[in-house]
């Protein structure tokens, strides 16, 4: 009976994740006029519509305030739509075109190739510590004997989607660097699914999972697992986190104006609070991942 309940729970979470990964964010209305001059697609997993409000003051970024800020700064109309997928956004709420995309750097790059929308990185959003980077966390169950990454030799590892560098590219590179012989546990669509699948493994199974560093506080807060169920035994190298990309369909002058407006956002305390950032948007320091 307990095993059936666990399987049912995992199936339910997987179905939710599929809906999320295909860009369906139910009940979220775009912000701003439909015929706006500038349309921003927000794919930031720390934005309120794409996260949850289970941890007070965390992952509740309000991009409506950015739309208002840019409207005043640029003197033009701005619309914001939220989606986990650039492909779905362009089919539904952003049919008139995309001006700016803000979200995970690696996900935007992958979606840009899939949609054949040419984008140029213009800025990176800092977190509350001032960093523009993130990393993957290798986690095991609390009763597991592993204490460091070196102890994961022979383990099965649950990875994240290939377009999430912090849960796929970077941690796989770390495993290769350490010359560990791990087994491929497959791809988990979200951190919550990875955590739940890890917990549901047989008690004697040697299994680890990789989750995003930003998501770790949300797993217990949102009820995906109980606090203390998982332990961190290592991390991957850092990769860029939230970046802003501008459409190449915009003129160079338009892209530069948007870029400068984003970089000047740090002067507004209200904006820093609304977007949960210490230093606001910073110049994009490198196009290399």
DSSP state string for 215-264: GHHHHHHTTSS-TTSEEEEEE---EE-EEEEEETTS-HHHHHHHHHHHHG
- In this predicted structure, what is the pLDDT of residue 96? 78
- In this predicted structure, what is the pLDDT of residue 75? 98
Query: Which tokens sit at 123?
Result: 């800025």
Q: Is 30 helix (H, G, I), strand (E, B) or coil?
A: coil
- Average pLDDT per 10 consecutive residues for the chain, totaling 289 residues: 41 40 61 96 97 87 98 98 94 87 98 96 98 98 98 98 98 98 97 96 97 93 85 98 98 98 97 98 75
Distance (Å, whole) CA 75 – CA 177: 50
- In this predicted structure, what is the pLDDT of residue 26? 56
- In this predicted structure, what is the pLDDT of residue 25? 58
- In this predicted structure, what is the pLDDT of residue 271? 98
Task: Please report the domains of the chain, with CATH numbers, ordered by start residue.
Answer: 13-131+241-283 (3.40.190.10), 134-239 (3.40.190.10)
């Amino acid at each position: 009976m307990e095993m059936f309940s666990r399987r049912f729970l995992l199936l339910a979470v997987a179905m939710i994740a599929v809906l999320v990964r295909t860009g369906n964010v139910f009940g979220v209305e775009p912000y701003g006029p439909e015929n706006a001059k500038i349309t921003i697609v927000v794919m930031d997993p720390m934005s309120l519509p794409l996260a949850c409000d289970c941890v007070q003051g965390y992952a509740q970024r309000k991009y409506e305030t950015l739309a208002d800020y840019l409207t005043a700064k640029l003197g033009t109309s701005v619309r914001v739509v939220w989606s986990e997928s650039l492909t779905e956004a362009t089919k539904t709420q952003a049919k008139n075109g995309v001006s700016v995309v803000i979200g995970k750097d690696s996900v935007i790059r992958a979606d840009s190739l899939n949609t054949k929308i040419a984008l140029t990185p213009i800025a990176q959003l800092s977190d509350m510590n001032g960093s523009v980077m993130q990393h993957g966390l290798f986690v095991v169950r609390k009763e597991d004997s592993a204490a460091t990454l070196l102890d994961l030799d022979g383990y099965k590892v649950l990875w994240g989607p290939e377009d999430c560098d912090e849960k796929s590219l970077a941690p796989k590179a770390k495993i290769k660097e350490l010359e560990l012989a791990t087994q491929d546990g497959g791809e988990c669509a979200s951190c919550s699914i990875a955590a739940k699948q890890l917990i549901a493994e047989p008690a004697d199974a040697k299994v680890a999972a990789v989750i995003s560093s930003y998501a770790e506080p949300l797993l217990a807060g949102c009820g995906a697992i109980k606090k203390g169920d998982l332990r961190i035994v290592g991390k991957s190298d850092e990769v860029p986190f939230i970046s802003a990309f501008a459409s190449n369909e915009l003129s160079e002058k338009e892209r530069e104006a948007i870029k400068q407006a984003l970089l000047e956002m740090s002067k507004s305390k209200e904006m820093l609070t609304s977007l949960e950032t210490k230093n606001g948007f910073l110049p994009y320091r490198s196009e290399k991942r």
